Amino acid sequence: MLLRAVGLHNFRGYRNFKLKFAPLTSLLGEGEVGKKTILRAMDIFFNGPLAKRPLKLQDLNEKALKAGDWQIAITCCFDDFAIKKSFDLKQYLEESDSFAEEGGDFQPVTDQSRYRQLSAGMPLYVFFDEESKAASPLNFVARSAIRDKEA
């Protein structure tokens, strides 16, 4: 399963942004134009609190803050579904997950096994933090799903 697109809402310099990926995509551009921001968002999406640089209040887009919109959302779209992680910064970084199957609207994740099933279908990309030696929680989800299938 390939990552097809990443959407950012109110994250750093991006108010509403969607980047579509080809099978091989490179991020090119001058310094300070947002390449690292996209990579940081993906690190937060896949690694959560174990991200190299976890989400902070300073990551909220300035225009969004002035408009009273305290929500950051990072959406990853795969072949057949998308998962959106939303962070309400007004509620001390309260996190919620939603998913949408191809062509559908986002629904809140209430059944953890459904989310686990979707996550287990993702390719295993482990973002490794040299300082903390922490591997991605996605690694744990995928290994758990494999162990469940074997049982």
Question: How far apart are alpha carbons 109 and 98 in whole angstroms?
Answer: 5
Helix (H) or strand (E) segment spanning residue 20: strand 14-20
Structure tokens at 117: 């099933």
The pTM for the full model equals 0.70
Q: What is the mean pLDDT of residues 83-103?
A: 82
Q: What is the mean pLDDT of residues 78-83?
A: 86
Percentage of the chain surpassing pLDDT 70? 70
Per-residue pLDDT band at 13 (split at 50, 70, 90): very high
Q: Which pLDDT value is given to residue 89?
A: 87
pLDDT at 113 over 60: no
Higher pLDDT, 84 or 146: 84
| Burial grade of 150 (CB within 10 A; 0-12, 13-18, 19 or more) | exposed
Q: What is the mean pLDDT of residues 88-106?
A: 80
